[in-house]
A and B are shown apart, each in its own frame.
Chain A
């Protein structure tokens, strides 16, 4: 319970004296700063608005939801946050993940650091995302906030699974295009892979990809998966968008020819529960739209 610093207690006390009822409850929330995006989206989805978070310009473009209120101060790059901006935001607790652990010593000068990692060796990011939600909620002193988010997420997945049940059983391949000649694939041990399993879909790529995407693979490898529906995650590089429709091999792929390629909306490849929800929702909507929508 490193969350309850002296300042928090003081703020709580002052607020309790100054104003009755609901205001006191709001003030009881410590001032939270967050470096990692997965933790940021999880906090926002639990209606815990941090005072400061990293790289918001890109977050709003890549992760898209949940929406970040204008009150949240941008801290700059995740790998290189601006400690001065963070200091001036006066957080009581800072959430970080193992991705950016090398800045922990500096963060500790500002406030206690709580490290919660969704992506780590041993995989199972979805389970870890649930644990992270619990961890975040507990650390800010609202342990009850995690359960609704987890329930909501599971309910969405369940709904999507039911919607998809009518669809002919075909495996899917979740890829990200690197350039007109290469792609990366998300294996069963990635967040998207776990969501596929929970949706009752088969991942055509059966090897693990160390909990994220694989190294770049030549596009011709897609020919090994003629049955799979192709799920393409953004960003699609501009030259891929231009060149692929004219590529003979791309056009010869059965999944492309039968219009079974689906371009989803942008999402954070290292997200938490909100990303899982977003992926499930967008994927289901795409798969239920006949005729595909991508790069034919």
Chain B
């Protein structure tokens, strides 16, 4: 009885809150409408212009904000339902980045295709991204943390590829950045009509799929026994969600995290059943985006909005993710993936030595083999001596950074028991990027030292943040991963806002983001190599912790391993390794993920040999990527981060898929 009274009281309060929010949105819309500028000129022209502005700009913008918010809210709700994942949305699943990459590729390579159908291109990119994310996390049974970590990885890969394209074809840079920071400016009803029809169709389809969607709440076996064609329903719903998100991205660009926030707020407002959430999330999304956009319009100065709406909303994404973290259930036992994928090697160190020898060979090739205007060239004698000051530092830097990232990835994967945990998702590298962005915003032509200081401060800030977040949960590995993803999201949102402002000096930032070894000087390379040796040296001492900690807190306690201290030490070491590598050569995505996987493929099951094998493989990979990036399009250099993603991405997915039959 008391419960029922409480429930009605709560319902009334919720109703008032809704009414209040709607009133707020309405008032802000009015304020934005009233705040339109005075126009000069003769009265007749002004009247007609004001009319055109009202009917073709102001009102469509209001409609677009509402409809895009609703479409994103529905998309997020569908994704969260079908993946049983409270932190799934078009941004965390990489749909937004995939769509943006597809649009960028088309802009550079096939502008005709883009003029023909932006929506189709965005859908293809988003669908490819979500397909990759699902493929990568399939063996983890689409468990929420893995899905989001895979989404972050895909986002970073897509960002690296976009960056390389933008660097190579600077002329269209502006369009790409405007998409990246989604802006709701409108000059016709086209956008509102397109998004509106998609939303209506999407809502109809969602209604038709309501029964199977409700049944998806139970586990797969029960759903199947109730007659749900699981795979078909999942594919359909995901396609629907991607389509909704892609139509919004194609029209107005990336609006981050509305899809994440809307279902979460709907749940807070008391929506419990799947159908309640599915109907309420679009409403919340519409209100959210409308309020945000009206605020942006009201605060706009005479030279336009202070910050694009999409970027502003995106800034909320990081904090929101952090706040949602406690709701994420981590379901899969962490040990599932840690076995070697091939029979364990009897003499692992012999293999490490062979890998080292391979590295030396690659090093020799990168130092001697290159190109000139005419063709391939094996540098000997004087030419070798001439080119050595340029080739040696970058080769050394690539090797050292690769080793750091490989070792950091191995540490992270052992510690979290999650095969998708790369050092990149710690957010440390993205933090370094934000540090550089701040320097660039404050100083017109910053020197190298200042840039490095900025990157160090950013990485350090991110590190401290992750550790603080971790400290609250006893450095639980899953929580730290998610905190890293949240921080990464926040940093990426900040970067896209900086890019949208688009000064020339954002090219500095692009160069760093793309990952580049060729700027590293001789002294810096030696410093980096020294730091690498220093950070790799303590690994043998940590072998015992690393073997025991993944077994869980009770086991570790029983065996006398300090759980919190151990986790803190290992995470700190991994984060330091990542930060130092990012500091010298930029965020080189994927090397840290790939190294440990290849090591496992080669039969390294764990222990110190596994760590060192991962490090050496990372070094080999990055040297190879660096050499290819330097020579393949001579004299034009392809950023090494792009190359690593291009070679490594497909291979990683292949690796993660492999052995499905054995484990799955």
- Chain A contacts to B: CB under 8 angstroms: 58, 61-62, 73-77, 79-85, 87-88, 98-99, 101-106, 109, 117, 119-121, 176, 178-182, 184, 207, 210, 212-221, 223-224, 226-227, 235, 237-239, 241-243, 246-250, 252-254, 270
Contacts and interface: CB of A to CB of B under 8 A. Distances in A.
Nearest to A185: B303
Interface stretch (B351-359, B408-416, B425-433, B497-505): B497-505
Given A80-B516, A101-B445, A235-B171, A223 B52 contact: yes
B448 A105 contact: yes
B118 interface: yes
Given A216-B183, A216-B304, A224-B40, A83 B390 contact: yes
Contact of B635 (A76, A101, A247): A76
B634 A182 contact: no
With most chain A CB atoms within 10 A of its CB, the pick from B171, B175, B370, B386 is: B175
B172 A252 contact: no
B49 A82 contact: no
Given A84-B390, A102-B447, 6 more contacts: A58-B170, A98-B444, A101-B447, A102-B511, A182-B185, A215-B501
Contacts of B170: 58
Interface string B257-277: 000000000000000000000
B309 to A, nearest CB: 11
A213 B505 CA distance: 12
B41 interface: yes
B49 A252 contact: yes
Contacts of A119: 504
B226 interface: no
Nearest to A97: B445
Contacts of A216: 174, 177-178, 183, 304, 308, 500, 502
B45 A254 contact: yes
Interface in B12-49: 37, 39-41, 45-46, 48-49
Given A76-B636, A215-B501, A184 B174 contact: yes
A74 B635 CA distance: 7
Contact of B372 (A88, A102, A246): A88
A79 B56 CA distance: 41
B303 A217 contact: yes
Sorted nearest first, the 3 A-B pairs with minimum C-beta distance are A218-B185, A252-B52, A98-B445
Contact of A227 (B40, B391, B505, B637): B40
A242 B115 contact: yes
17 contacts: A62-B171, A76-B637, A79-B508, A87-B387, A99-B507, A102-B447, A102-B451, A104-B448, A106-B519, A179-B179, A214-B303, A217-B303, A221-B304, A223-B39, A237-B111, A239-B115, A248-B187
Nearest to B191: A181
B195 interface: no
B39 A226 contact: yes
A77 B636 contact: yes
B373 interface: yes
B182 to A, nearest CB: 11
A218 B187 CA distance: 9
Interface of B: 37, 39-41, 45-46, 48-49, 52-53, 55-58, 107, 111-112, 114-115, 118, 167-172, 174-175, 177-179, 183, 185-188, 190, 302-305, 308, 370, 372-373, 386-387, 389-391, 444-445, 447-448, 451, 500-505, 507-508, 510-511, 516, 518-519, 521, 630, 634-637, 639
A239 B118 contact: yes
Contacts of B516: 80
Contacts of B175: 178-179, 237
A80 B518 contact: yes
A185 to B, nearest CB: 8
Contact of A102 (B172, B444, B508, B637): B508
B519 A87 contact: no
A63 B263 CA distance: 50
Contacts of A104: 448
A250 to B, nearest CB: 6
A77 B185 contact: no
Given A84-B390, A247-B188, A252-B52, A182 B183 contact: yes
A173 B431 CA distance: 39
B174 A226 contact: no
B305 A82 contact: no
Contacts of B391: 84
B445 A219 contact: no
A85 B114 contact: no
A33 to B, nearest CB: 12
Contacts of B190: 243
Contacts of A74: 635
Nearest to A88: B372
A181 B185 CA distance: 6
Given A210-B503, A220-B53, A237 B304 contact: no
Contacts of B46: 226
B518 A226 contact: no
A75 B168 CA distance: 13
B185 A219 contact: yes
B503 A212 contact: yes
Nearest to B504: A212
Which of B57, B167, B505, B507 is the most central at the interface, judged by chain A CB atoms within 10 Å of its CB? B57
A39 to B, nearest CB: 15
A250 B448 contact: no
A237 B172 CA distance: 7
Contacts of A235: 171-172
Contact of B370 (A80, A84, A99): A84
A102 B115 contact: no
B188 A80 contact: no
A178 B178 contact: yes
A205 to B, nearest CB: 8
Given A99-B504, A216-B178, A224 B39 contact: yes
A106 B518 contact: yes
A242 B117 CA distance: 12
A181 B309 CA distance: 14
Contacts of B519: 102-103, 106
B168 A220 contact: no
A31 B344 CA distance: 60
B239 to A, nearest CB: 25
Contacts of A223: 39, 49, 52-53
A184 B521 CA distance: 37
A40 to B, nearest CB: 15
A77 B178 contact: no
